[in-house]
Chain A
Amino acid sequence: GENVEQHPSTLSVQEGDSAVIKCTYSDSASNYFPWYKQELGKGPQLIIDIRSNVGEKKDQRIAVTLNKTAKHFSLHITETQPEDSAVYFCAATGRNTGFQKLVFGTGTRLLVSP
C-alpha cells in the first residue's frame, strides 16, 4: 500500500525565516496531496492541497511543490510567524485503496521563535 515519509520531525526557526517540510510517497498512482496544520488539542485543519497535474501551488505565505518523478512534495512557509507554530502533516491518496483513504506522514512539529 501507500507509504508516506515526512521530514524533519521537529523544526525550529526564527520569526521571519522560511520553513520547509518534505514528504515522499511510494505509490506512483497517487494523485492528491494535502497538508494539514494541527494546533494543540484540536483536529487537523487543511491548509493547502495539490493535485498531480500541478507542480506548484501558492496561497499567500504558504506554497506546496510536487515532483512526481521523484515522488516527493514539500510545504514551504515564508516569513514565519509565532502563530505558525503547530504540528504539520502531509498526506497522499493512492490507487491501492481506490483513492478512498488518505495516508498521513508522521508529522513535523514547527516552532517559530519571536
Chain B
Amino acid sequence: SQTIHQWPATLVQPVGSPLSLECTVEGTSNPNLYWYRQAAGRGLQLLFYSVGIGQISSEVPQNLSASRPQDRQFILSSKKLLLSDSGFYLCAWRSLNNSPLHFGNGTRLTVT
C-alpha cells in the first residue's frame, strides 16, 4: 500500500533562518506531488505542485521554493523565513489526474 511521510511534525524557527521540509511517498511511482499551506482556522492554499522530477509549478509568489530531486521526494525550502511563513504545511500525492489526493500529517511551523 502507499504511504506518505512528512517531517518534522512541528518546527519552531527564528525569523531569517532557513527552512527545509521533506516529504516522501512509498508504494507508488511517478506520483503528482503537492505542497499546501493552511493558516490557523483557514482553508488549504496550494503552494507548489510537481508532475515529475525537476518539474515544479508555483501557484503564488512567496518566500518559499520547492524541489523534487527524486521521483517520490518533494522538498519545501526557504532561505530566510518570515513571520508570515508560520502555518500548517501539508504534503500530498495522487497517482493520476482526477484520482484521490492523499495528504500527509503535516508540519506545524512557527516562526518567532
Q: Which residues of A contact B (CB under 8 A)?
A: 31-32, 34, 36, 41-46, 49, 51, 89, 91, 93, 98-102, 104-107
The total of interchain contacts (Cβ-Cβ below 8 angstroms) comes to 49
Whether the pair A43, B98 counts as a contact (CB closer than 8 A) is: no
Chain B residues within 8 Å of chain A by Cβ, number: 21
CB distance from A24 to the nearest CB of B (A): 15
Cβ–Cβ < 8 Å partners of B92 in chain A: 43
> Is the beta-carbon distance between A100 and B49 smaller than 8 angstroms?
yes
Kindly state whether residue B78 has any CB partner on chain A within 8 Å: no
Which of A43, A91, A93, A104 is the most central at the interface, judged by chain B CB atoms within 10 Å of its CB?
A43
Q: A102 touching B97 by the CB < 8 A rule?
A: no
Chain A min CB distance to B56 (Å): 13
Question: Residue B105 contacts which of A43, A102, A104, A106 (CB distance < 8 angstroms)?
Answer: A43
Contact B46 A44 (CB under 8 A): no
Choose one: B6, B44, B100; the contact of A34 (CB below 8 Å): B100
The answer to whether A100 and B32 touch (CB under 8 A), given A43-B90, A43-B105, A45-B103, is yes
Known: A41-B106, A45-B103. 16 other contacts (CB 8 A): A36-B103, A41-B108, A43-B103, A43-B104, A44-B103, A49-B100, A51-B98, A93-B98, A99-B97, A100-B32, A100-B51, A101-B46, A102-B101, A104-B44, A105-B43, A107-B43
